[in-house]
Structure 1
Amino acid sequence: MLRPVILGTGCAVPAKILTNADLERMVDTTDEWITSRTGIAERHIASSGEYTSTFATKAAELALEKAGVTADEIELIVVATVTPDFPFPSTACLVQNNIKASRAAAFDISAACSGFLYGLSLVEKMIITGSISKALVIGAEVLSRVVDWSDRNTCCLFGDGAGAVVLGTSQSGNGILSTHIHSDGSYWDLLFQPGIGNRNPASKKALEERLMFLQMQGNEVFKLAVRAMEDAAHEALDANDLKLDDIDLFIPHQANRRIIDAIGKRLGINNDRIFVNLHKYGNTSAASIPIALDEANRSGRIQPGNLLLLDSFGGGLTWASTLIRW
């Protein structure tokens, strides 16, 4: 059976690091308060002249290099982001131009923190049906430009960066075993950016009301995230007649250490099988899973034949899971 397989991974983050100690000088918070509630110690923040496409491009180039694939072999580029360079054209088109992928179609998708897994699901189907044979799926964000740096409850959570994978085809039985995506729009206002879209367009009033910054009801999101990610994990396993004991590495969305710990406990997965890099990057939304995947891959944490479970949750609300035999 023809399966999509990850041929290479890459990630890129800004050089600038904002520590919890730095935040103590910016807003009414402490390192202890942030660490105990989130598990985050630092995050990478884009500098002037760096954009979502900057990191998406670098991550794509590294993934191509790792895969041994040239840009002109790529037939599709999908960028998952809620912080594109422009409303249009898509950030994917900017990446296509930057890497000179002359044959590739390119577009963005918006599914917040679940965006990367949504992208995998889309490309999986296109590869299985024979529509394409090689693609780039990228999760990329510059969330620092939509964060209210005067709000201590949210500004400490988010960071910038991108992760990418090159997908190809395999007849070996390894690769993406299944993908599962879900949403519930009735909870849209628990995590969203009020402006500046056409509901609340750019105006003096929108700026005064700080509508350009994301808003989140953290406690409600926490409860829904744990339940949805637990369900998504079981769905992926059930679809492949596998058990949690079969999982070699669980890579959850890196949103909050308490969420990760709660999901691990509910699933009964030991910490040594859960990949966590949240402390270094914070919540990078659609970029968090591909950044973690690349770090796990390059560090030797993933070995051929390993079974990987990827699990995410984000604004929308959206949630998703992917099961991969490496």
Structure 2
Amino acid sequence: MNAFVLNRHGRMVFPSNIIPELDFSTMETLEQLDSVIRRDFETKAPSGTEILERVRTGGYATRYDLMRDMALNLFWANRFSITMYEKRPTRWRDLPRSRSDVFLPVLEPWEDGEAKVSGVQQAYPQLPSRWDSPCEDRVFEVLFDVFANRRHHASTLPAVKPTVAEFLEQPGNLTFRLPDYDPDYPVYDYDDILDVDEDVPELTALHRWAMVLHNQYPWERSKVELAAAGDLRDDDWVVAFHPRDKEVRAFLRRLRAQAAPRHAPTARESRPPVRPYPAVDVRQRFDVLPRLEALAAVHGDQACSNEDLIRNTAYNWSPMSAEEISSKTGIEQRRYSSLPLEELALQAAEAALAKAGREPEEIGAVLVATCTSSRLIPSLATYLCGQLGMHQVYAAYDIIAACAGMPYGVAEATRLLQEVERPVLVVCVEKFSDKIGNVRTSRMIFGDGAAGLVVGPAPEGAGTDFDVMKTYASGPASEVNSILWPNPEFDNNITVFGPQVKALAGRYLTQMIEEISALPHPDGGEGSLLDSVELIVPHQANKTMVIGLAERAGLTADQLYFNIERVGNTSSASIPLAIHDAVRDGVITAPLRVFAPGFGAGAVAGYAVMRVDPAVVAVQSAPVPQDGASAPAVREPNGSAQGSDGVQEAFG
């Protein structure tokens, strides 16, 4: 459910944003479920009383605002039935009385329901249209048909419904009664919902919401009433609730077993190390000097624009426009891949080897930096070895350093060079698009992509492409846990806690700038190591945030290169993808010194001050949609633009 699909209009759609589903395999207690439900449904949903009050006080500016509240209210009223149960109209005489997995909801009449329905019905035509009056009228017709025939009060619904036997213990219990039931009552097909394509992105999302809510009541709603248990007749139809899948069944069994909740241990207060860790001067520290032989990139083949996000607005998102997403993040689009993570990594590895002119048997070690692999055995690195035909390497393993993956990878490759004295393949790869679910902040930021680097031993008498390296990790537990995946509290989707991320990024960026400002010019020139830097290519976390943090650390925005507005945040792949794009776009046209800082999940960070020669970059042509795996198209840089002097002028 979490992956994206393309509908028949070629529009990107996220099914998990439209059809609420929770991963019950992660839930142990009702308290945990209640936390998820309240966050996803209640905090955004107005009650019927609140809707009526806003109607009476002129609280709605447009028809869209009113309809959005109606939809959120209906999602709240269906919060458990839509996530836990399948509704099956059944004749009362045919309903099992003793099964433990067949339930009947106990309902209470909707307080002042007639007044709330009447208020909405009278208010809608008096409000101005927000964008498209005919479209809004169509959506209102679907929504109001559900809203107007709602019978029950929402706030008293329990997650665990009574079994039929438990329902019958109280003759006064009320439940749905249908005088008849048509199994062919029209509902919207899954593809119908995906294929909605209104001119206004916000109305596309709202129309889909209305269709999903319509499908929650697939019967003649105007004839439904609440009937007491003692008044049900054999030919009456009732709405039986059945667990929607085996995970819900297992969750209900766990509740009956009353398993004790697990409590996470309390973290100790973080304390700084007994002495600072110095940056690694590559020339002084290592005998085998590293050289960047090749860098290749693989972008996602599908562009997901900010408008695409708004078309896929989930029921639990706060209102936000495409322009606001751009303002908050600096991102206009993010790129997603239709390929699995393994194929992305393989394409990047093959392209890097081809650019370096290296055969697989020449490679001494393979390192994969990723935080989105679900592959544990074999590791992604060893999987690549097998796919590339490497009969034996000295070492192959994955590095989970998230957004510092590239600095960690080249630092580890340099250490391995001392032992193997042959090239190390480093692949930085991420696929976030199928791990986001309906989490708004994550969907705004993350993208997919991969990059391959070949770090080999410099020839005898030649210098290194890497001046200084440094890695860091840890901090306060709140920063260590600032980005989580999988996160049971967010239905196992990746979640970002913004203030904590900003705190760790600011802390590390300030520390990095102070460190390289105190180091000497690597070529013996005047000034510091920072003064020798010609271009800063930071981890592409959030353009707005990084610029603000960089300015606080004493840098200026024109010293930084960003490609995040076109590709999103690709974590470990973000720095090498940005270097590739800087070459492709003519920002880097001659060898120059780059400062590449990364920081992120786990409170990890790292940087490399390195020489980037555009001649070693396999420049990928503009990404195009593809149906299957294929090697990335590459072209050589044309070298027609200015050299590093021009970059210095452009970037300060």
- TM bin (shorter chain): 0.7 to 0.9
Q: CA deviation at 1:77?
A: 0.8
Q: CA deviation at 1:156?
A: 0.8
Alpha carbons of structure 1 residues 267 and 302: separation in structure 2 relative to 1, 3 Å: farther
Q: Deviations over 1:79-127 (max 9, x none)?
A: 0111114122111122222222333332101111112211111111222
- In the alignment, does 2:469 pair up with 1:189? no
Contact 1:20–1:34 (8 Å) recurs in 2: yes
The one-letter code sitting in structure 2 at the alignment partner of 1:306 is L
Match of 1:203?
A: none
Q: CA deviation at 1:268?
A: 4.3
- In the alignment, does 2:406 pair up with 1:120? no
Q: Secondary structure at the match of 2:537?
A: strand
Match of 1:39?
A: 330
CA distance in 1, matches of 2:419, 2:546: 36
Does 93-102 or 58-67 show the bigger shift?
Answer: 93-102
CA distance in 2, matches of 1:7, 1:237: 28
- In the alignment, does 2:503 pair up with 1:223? yes
Contact 1:225–1:259 (8 Å) recurs in 2: no
Q: Deviations over 1:47-99 (max 9, x none)?
A: 2xx21111111111221222222222111110011111412211112222222
Identify unmatched segments of 5+ residues in structure 1.
Answer: 196-205
The one-letter code sitting in structure 1 at the alignment partner of 2:407 is L
Alpha carbons of structure 1 residues 244 and 215: separation in structure 2 relative to 1, 3 Å: same
Alpha carbons of structure 1 residues 133 and 230: separation in structure 2 relative to 1, 3 Å: farther
- In the alignment, does 2:298 pair up with 1:12? yes
Q: CA deviation at 1:255?
A: 0.7
The one-letter code sitting in structure 1 at the alignment partner of 2:381 is A
CA distance in 2, matches of 1:303, 1:234: 29
1:162 aligns with one of 438, 450, 457: 450
Match of 2:595?
A: 309
Contact 2:289–2:464 (8 Å) recurs in 1: yes
Match of 2:231?
A: none
The one-letter code sitting in structure 2 at the alignment partner of 1:117 is P
CA distance in 1, matches of 2:346, 2:595: 26
Q: CA deviation at 1:45?
A: 1.5
Q: CA deviation at 1:178?
A: 2.0
CA distance in 1, matches of 2:361, 2:420: 17
The one-letter code sitting in structure 2 at the alignment partner of 1:168 is G
- Aligned residues with identical type, % of pairs: 30
Higher strand share: 1
Match of 2:359?
A: 70
The one-letter code sitting in structure 2 at the alignment partner of 1:96 is C
Q: CA deviation at 1:293?
A: 1.9
Does 213-222 or 34-43 show the bigger shift?
Answer: 213-222
**TM-score, length basis structure 1:** 0.88
Q: Secondary structure at the match of 2:334?
A: strand
Match of 1:172?
A: 462
**TM-score, length basis structure 2:** 0.45
Does 261-270 or 20-29 show the bigger shift?
Answer: 261-270
CA distance in 1, matches of 2:520, 2:396: 31
CA distance in 2, matches of 1:81, 1:177: 24
Match of 1:53?
A: 342
Does 31-40 or 209-218 show the bigger shift?
Answer: 209-218
CA distance in 2, matches of 1:304, 1:7: 15
- In the alignment, does 2:587 pair up with 1:296? no
Q: CA deviation at 1:214?
A: 1.4
CA distance in 2, matches of 1:179, 1:58: 27
Q: CA deviation at 1:221?
A: 1.1
Equivalent positions of 1:149-298 (< 5 A) are: 149=438, 151-170=439-458, 171-185=461-475, 186=477, 187-195=479-487, 210-241=490-521, 242-298=528-584
Q: CA deviation at 1:259?
A: 2.6
CA distance in 2, matches of 1:103, 1:240: 41
Identify unmatched segments of 5+ residues in structure 2.
Answer: 1-282, 314-318, 522-527, 613-652
The one-letter code sitting in structure 2 at the alignment partner of 1:311 is P
CA distance in 2, matches of 1:298, 1:103: 34
Q: Secondary structure at the match of 1:156?
A: helix
Match of 1:90?
A: 379
Does 299-308 or 253-262 show the bigger shift?
Answer: 299-308
Q: CA deviation at 1:269?
A: 4.1
Q: Secondary structure at the match of 2:352?
A: helix
Q: CA deviation at 1:237?
A: 5.0
CA distance in 1, matches of 2:444, 2:289: 40
Alpha carbons of structure 1 residues 219 and 238: separation in structure 2 relative to 1, 3 Å: same
The one-letter code sitting in structure 1 at the alignment partner of 2:389 is K
Match of 1:107?
A: 397
Deviant stretches of 4+, over 3 Å: 236-241, 266-273, 297-305
Does 11-20 or 288-297 show the bigger shift?
Answer: 288-297
- In the alignment, does 2:608 pair up with 1:322? yes
Q: Deviations over 1:248-297 (max 9, x none)?
A: 11110001012321244245444444221001111111110111122234
CA distance in 1, matches of 2:587, 2:413: 25
Q: CA deviation at 1:12?
A: 0.7
CA distance in 2, matches of 1:285, 1:192: 13
Q: Deviations over 1:181-224 (max 9, x none)?
A: 111152322211244xxxxxxxxxx5xx5442112210221132
CA distance in 2, matches of 1:315, 1:294: 23
Matched length: 310
Bigger Rg, which one: 2
CA distance in 2, matches of 1:324, 1:69: 22
Q: CA deviation at 1:10?
A: 0.5
CA distance in 1, matches of 2:448, 2:469: 26
CA distance in 2, matches of 1:110, 1:168: 22
Contact 1:114–1:313 (8 Å) recurs in 2: yes
Contact 1:74–1:103 (8 Å) recurs in 2: no
Match of 2:164?
A: none
Q: CA deviation at 1:236?
A: 4.0
